[in-house]
Structure 1
């Protein structure tokens, strides 16, 4: 057992050195990043000229001049009013009725709006530790709600993910630490698989190239056997159907071979043109 282990270790080490496999640690992605949170969409496009949610309901502002409307627009009111409009826009996508405020769908939509607004601010200020902690807590809370909805109403869960453009990423069952040794082992395995696939592809091409001459020899041999049996008045074992079958296979091979040759010529011409 020890001899086998040592032999495999020596083989993998030598293969690593020969293949020159270099392991590069993947870039660190923070927990609040959309890549890890599962948000496939950023903040919805809301124009700066749009009025705040509370001010748009008033009747007086409809007849007000454009200068007054600009004062109560999102561009002048600030980030808080903009976030309210974002939240309202996402809630409207999944709301059951006008007074729906506490269902799982609307709660997830509100959390999604807050998460995306925090993600937008974290891109500008990545050192804001307080916002980082808050957005992580909100992401975990949303995961719990999504898990609940997935368990009790899977159709609605799928519909909600599509509407809000979210990818569900559940909590991992066990923590797996990334190590250099394990990554190198996987890279060597992938390298070996790549070599095997290339060798198999080359061997397949070789067999396909030899198929044409083999079919020609087979066709001539079948025709010769049939003619000799007919001359000697011996029971004929080779029928015309067998000969036609081989002729058809030969025709198919010639068509495939011509297509391959044309592809090779095109590749050569492209390579010469690039040089």
Structure 2
């Protein structure tokens, strides 16, 4: 009872009482989502009248009428044939030659096609546990292959990411549990860093505003010293180069100051509008 009374009378001192920071738990994103997997595009656009390779190579279908070809097209076939066309389209982007089926880039392209087909399935059926496990395993397998390719052939790694429209997201080096205390500590550090940066910017602006009058006084002082030394027939310690240097600095400050004044006027006009 006494402890409760003392804590209510004497507030505890700390950052939490000085800085008003609100912590919100981040939204959970499943591993199969494009934000975490690194896929920057969905399924490639395949025309509905496309015919799978198994049927396209037959001589009977070449001479068949359009109605028969339409029956064997992607529009009337199942999901399995459509997924095969998706994988083939991605493999054709990166394959070296016609019989290239087992290099690192073709394997990554095949896995990417499978991943994107499963991602489309998960969007329609988010409770499909088997598809969820499979797509997570494939994403981890693709990360290992990308890590291998990045280590041994970086140029091809960059080229592959561009062709397949991928973003490499490696496994984190350290795993830590998300907690409210740790997040508040990081938010407090970010808040203090913003305060420090703003104070430094204000101090820099103050010094820059005082630079102009200081350069004017310096220029007048140098000219006065030179003229006095010439009149008194003393050795001249102020050269013409020193005076020109100060004049150039003063001119640069005037140009920067005019630009800042114009920017402030535009900002003020925008706020008034």
Place the TM-score, normalised by the shorter chain, in its bin: 0.7 to 0.9
Query: What is the match of residue 182 of structure 1?
Result: 182
Change (3 A) 1:257 1:51: same
Q: Does 1:102 pair with 2:102? A: yes
Superposition TM-score, scaled by structure 1 size: 0.87
Q: CA deviation at 1:57?
A: 1.6
**Equivalent residue runs for 1:117-136 within 5 Å:** 117-136=117-136
**Equivalent residue runs for 1:222-237 within 5 Å:** 222-237=222-237
Change (3 A) 1:242 1:72: same
Contact kept in structure 2, 1:43 and 1:117, CA below 8 Å: yes
Query: What is the match of residue 166 of structure 1?
Result: 166
Change (3 A) 1:215 1:50: same
CA distance in 1, matches of 2:35, 2:168: 11
Q: CA deviation at 1:220?
A: 1.5
Change (3 A) 1:13 1:105: farther
Three-state SS of the structure 1 residue aligned to 2:238 is: coil
Query: What is the match of residue 238 of structure 1?
Result: 238
Change (3 A) 1:231 1:171: closer
Instruction: Name whichever of 17-26 and 148-157 sits farther off.
Output: 148-157
Q: CA deviation at 1:130?
A: 1.5
Q: Give the ranges of 4+ consecutive aligned residues of structure 1 lying more than 6 Å apart after TM superposition.
A: none
Cα RMSD (Å): 2.1
Change (3 A) 1:209 1:124: same
**Equivalent residue runs for 1:191-210 within 5 Å:** 191-210=191-210
Three-state SS of the structure 2 residue aligned to 1:75 is: coil
Change (3 A) 1:71 1:178: same
Change (3 A) 1:215 1:143: closer
CA distance in 2, matches of 1:176, 1:235: 72
Change (3 A) 1:156 1:227: closer
Instruction: Name whichever of 247-256 and 198-207 sits farther off.
Output: 247-256
The Cα offsets for residues 188-240 of structure 1, whole Å up to 9 and x where unpaired, read as 11111111111111111111111111111111122222222222222222222
Contact kept in structure 2, 1:53 and 1:84, CA below 8 Å: no
Q: CA deviation at 1:62?
A: 3.0
In structure 2, stretches of 5+ residues that fail to align are: 1-11
Contact kept in structure 2, 1:53 and 1:81, CA below 8 Å: no
Superposition TM-score, scaled by structure 2 size: 0.87
Q: How many residues align?
A: 262
